[in-house]
């Protein structure tokens, strides 16, 4: 079973980036106890004041899908939705490297 | 001092993606002992047979810059260069999350 990676780029409504980033950081905190979630990193690019990047690695795509039905995840999505103008998401297959379980 | 993130997308010459990915995985192995390198993950997108994504997080941009002068890094760059058609790179400021040192 191969790992599942996701690079999501959220475009926040003007002036809402930091509020959105905090909601996503809270979601990351909630995932600390979820073994199948290896990475959930919230970053911002220097070049776009409205963008928030979330980099995820999961043990499998099934584990990622299952996480979407967690009450905490659903609550975070509801809180974040009104702050979001757009989402780009690229699915990735992590091959390995430093910082994920090999 | 804030962490430094980089999302690089390499476009390999046709048919060279796997060779390029292996060189980058070797580079990642060489970074295991570099404390300032928190993440160096090599992934491939399902949608582009020529792309290799490298997701990096460093303790600082200075640490990232310093790594570029390591002999191993320079050797990997020389080996990879002939296999590469293009590189896109986005600098990121990691705010936190699961999988990096908070």
pLDDT of residue A101: 86
Chain B's closest residue to A90, CA to CA, is B45
Q: What is the pLDDT of residues B44-97, one digit of tens each?
A: 998 999 999 999 999 999 999 999 999 999 999 999 999 999 999 999 999 999
Arithmetic mean of pLDDT over chain A:
96
* Statement: residue A102 has pLDDT above 80: no
Instruction: Decide: residue A42, CB within 10 A, 0-12 exposed, 13-18 middle, 19+ buried.
Output: buried
> Which of B41, B49, B88 is the best substitution to test chain A (most A C-beta atoms within 10 A)?
B41
Residues of A in contact with B44 (CB under 8 A): 92-93, 95
Q: What would the mean pLDDT of A39-64 be, rounded to a whole number?
A: 96
Q: Which domains does chain A have, with CATH numbers?
A: 4-92 (3.30.70.100)
Residues of B in contact with A101 (CB under 8 A): none
Of A29, A31, A97, the CB nearest to B41: A97
* Statement: residue A1 has pLDDT above 90: no
Q: What would the mean pLDDT of A20-33 be, rounded to a whole number?
A: 96
* C-beta atoms of A98 and B25 within 8 A: no
CA angle B13, B14, B15 (to 5 degrees): 110
Integer Cα distance of B37 and A52 in angstroms: 22
Residues of A in contact with B19 (CB under 8 A): none
Across A30-83, where does the E strand assignment appear? 37-45, 51-58
**Buried residues in A66-102 as b, exposed as e (16+ CB within 10 A):** ebeeeeebeebeebbeebbeeeeebbbebbbbbbbee
ipTM of the complex: 0.94
Chain A contacts to B (CB-CB under 8 A): 5, 7, 21, 24-25, 28-29, 31-32, 37-47, 53-55, 57, 90-100
Integer Cα distance of B7 and A1 in angstroms: 25
């Amino acid at each position: 079973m191969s790992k599942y990676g996701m690079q999501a780029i959220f475009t926040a409504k003007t002036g809402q980036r930091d509020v959105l980033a905090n909601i996503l950081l809270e979601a990351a905190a909630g995932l600390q106890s979820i073994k199948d979630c290896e990475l959930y990193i919230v970053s911002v690019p220097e070049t776009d004041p409205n963008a928030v990047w979330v980099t995820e690695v999961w043990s499998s795509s099934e584990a990622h899908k299952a996480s979407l039905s967690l009450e905490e995840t659903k609550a975070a999505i509801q809180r974040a939705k009104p702050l979001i103008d757009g989402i780009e998401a690229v699915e990735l297959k992590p091959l390995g490297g430093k910082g994920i379980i090999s």
